[in-house]
Amino acid sequence: MRTPGTRPIVSDIGILSGEADQSLDTARQVSSESDGRQMVYLETYGCQMNVSDSEIVASVLRGSGFGLTRDPDSADVVLINTCAIRENAEQKVRRRLETFRSRKQKRAPDLKLGVLGCMAERLREKLLDEEKLVDLVVGPDAYRDLPNLLDASLESGQSAVNVQLSKEETYADISPVRYDSNGVSAFVSIMRGCDNMCSFCVVPFTRGRERSRPTASILDECAKLVDAGYREVTVLGQNVNSYRDGVNGQSVSFAELLHRISLLSPDLRIRYSTSHPKDCSDELLHVHRERDNVCNFIHLPVQHGNTAMLERMRRTYSREEYLALVERARRIVPGLALSTDIIAGFCGETEEEHRDTLSLMEAVRYDHAFNFIYSERPGTYASKKYEDDVPEEVKKRRLSEIIELQSAHSLESNQRDVGRVLRVLVEGPSRKSDEQLCGRTDSNKMVVFDDAGFVKGQYVDVRVERCTSATLLGTAVSSGANKLEASSPATTVGAPQ
Q: Which residues contribute to the site for ligand SF4 (CB under 6 A)?
A: 194, 196-198, 201, 203-204, 238-239, 276
Part of the chain binding ligand 5AD (CB under 6 A), chosen from 168-176, 209-217, 369-377, 483-491: 369-377
Separation of first and last alpha carbons in the chain: 62
Q: Which is nearer to ligand SF4, 204 or 428 (CB)?
A: 204
Is residue 446 within 8 A of residue 427, CB to CB? The reply is no
Q: Which is nearer to ligand 5AD, 18 or 348 (CB)?
A: 348
Q: Which does 196 bind (CB under 5 to 8 A by kind): ligand SF4, ligand 5AD, none?
A: ligand SF4
Binding to ligand 5AD by CB under 6 A, coded x per residue (else -) over 241-280, reads ----------------------------------------
The secondary structure of 144-163 as a DSSP string is: GGHHHHHHHHHHH---EEE-
Q: Report the distance separating Cα 80 and Cα 94, nearest Å.
A: 10
28-47: contacts with ligand 5AD (CB under 6 A): none
Is residue 375 within 8 A of residue 88, CB to CB? The reply is yes
143-202: contacts with ligand 5AD (CB under 6 A): 200-201
Q: Which does 374 bind (CB under 5 to 8 A by kind): ligand SF4, ligand 5AD, none?
A: ligand 5AD
Is residue 431 within 8 A of residue 438, CB to CB? The reply is yes
Q: Report the distance separating Cα 121 and Cα 143, nearest Å.
A: 13
Part of the chain binding ligand 5AD (CB under 6 A), chosen from 59-67, 319-327, 370-378, 467-475: 370-378
Q: Which does 372 bind (CB under 5 to 8 A by kind): ligand SF4, ligand 5AD, none?
A: ligand 5AD
User: Which stretches of 362-467 are assigned E, i.e. beta strand?
Assistant: 368-373, 421-429, 436-441, 446-450, 459-467
Q: Would you call 232 helix, strand, or coil by DSSP? A: strand
Binding to ligand 5AD by CB under 6 A, coded x per residue (else -) over 317-356, reads ------------------------x-x-------------
User: Which stretches of 316-355 are assigned E, i.e. beta strand?
Assistant: 337-344
Is residue 467 within 8 A of residue 458, CB to CB? The reply is no
Q: Which is nearer to ligand 5AD, 75 or 337 (CB)?
A: 337
The number of helix segments (H) and strand segments (E) in the chain equals: 13, 22
Q: Which is nearer to ligand 5AD, 269 or 276 (CB)?
A: 276
Report the nearest approach of ligand SF4 to the CB of residue 60 (Å).
24
Q: Which does 390 bind (CB under 5 to 8 A by kind): ligand 5AD, ligand SF4, none?
A: none
Residues 6 or more apart whose CB falls under 8 angstroms from that of 208 comprise 140, 141, 165, 166, 167, 192, 193
Query: Is residue 50 a contact point for ligand 5AD (CB under 6 A)?
Result: no
Residues 6 or more apart whose CB falls under 8 angstroms from that of 108 comprise none
User: Which stretches of 190-282 are assigned E, i.e. beta strand?
Assistant: 191-192, 211-212, 232-236, 244-245, 252-253, 269-273
Q: Which is nearer to ligand 5AD, 297 or 372 (CB)?
A: 372
Q: Would you call 55 helix, strand, or coil by DSSP? A: helix
Q: Which is nearer to ligand 5AD, 45 or 374 (CB)?
A: 374
Query: Is residue 205 a contact point for ligand 5AD (CB under 6 A)?
Result: no
Q: Which is nearer to ligand SF4, 276 or 445 (CB)?
A: 276
Report the nearest approach of ligand 5AD to the CB of residue 343 (Å).
5
How distant, in Å, are the alpha carbons of 11, 352, 357, 359 from that of 362?
A: 54, 15, 9, 5
Q: Which does 492 bind (CB under 5 to 8 A by kind): ligand 5AD, ligand SF4, none?
A: none
| 331 φψ region: left (φ > 0), alpha (ψ -120 to 50), beta (else) | alpha
Q: Which does 86 bind (CB under 5 to 8 A by kind): ligand 5AD, ligand SF4, none?
A: ligand 5AD
Q: Report the distance separating Cα 228 and Cα 251, nearest Å.
A: 29
Report the nearest approach of ligand SF4 to the CB of residue 440 (Å).
24
Q: Which does 377 bind (CB under 5 to 8 A by kind): ligand 5AD, ligand SF4, none?
A: ligand 5AD
| β-bridge pairing 39-44 and 28-29 | antiparallel
Among positions 101, 207, 377, 423, the unique one binding ligand 5AD when judged by CB under 6 A: 377
Q: Which does 46 bind (CB under 5 to 8 A by kind): ligand 5AD, ligand SF4, none?
A: none
Q: Which is nearer to ligand 5AD, 187 or 374 (CB)?
A: 374
Q: Which does 238 bind (CB under 5 to 8 A by kind): ligand SF4, ligand 5AD, none?
A: ligand SF4
Q: Report the distance separating Cα 122 and Cα 132, nearest Å.
A: 15
The secondary structure of 54-81 as a DSSP string is: HHHHHHHHHHTT-EE-S-GGG-SEEEEE
Among positions 54, 303, 306, 357, the unique one binding ligand 5AD when judged by CB under 6 A: 303
Query: Is residue 220 a contact point for ligand 5AD (CB under 6 A)?
Result: no
Query: Is residue 222 a contact point for ligand 5AD (CB under 6 A)?
Result: no
Q: Would you call 99 helix, strand, or coil by DSSP? A: helix
Is residue 52 within 8 A of residue 15, CB to CB? The reply is no
Find out whether the peptide bond into 274 is cis, omega within 30 degrees of 0: yes
Among positions 62, 86, 122, 244, the unique one binding ligand 5AD when judged by CB under 6 A: 86
Give Cα 343 to chain centroid, integer Å.
18
Give me the residues that bind ligand 5AD (CB under 6 A), please: 85-86, 200-201, 301, 303, 341, 343, 372, 374-375, 377
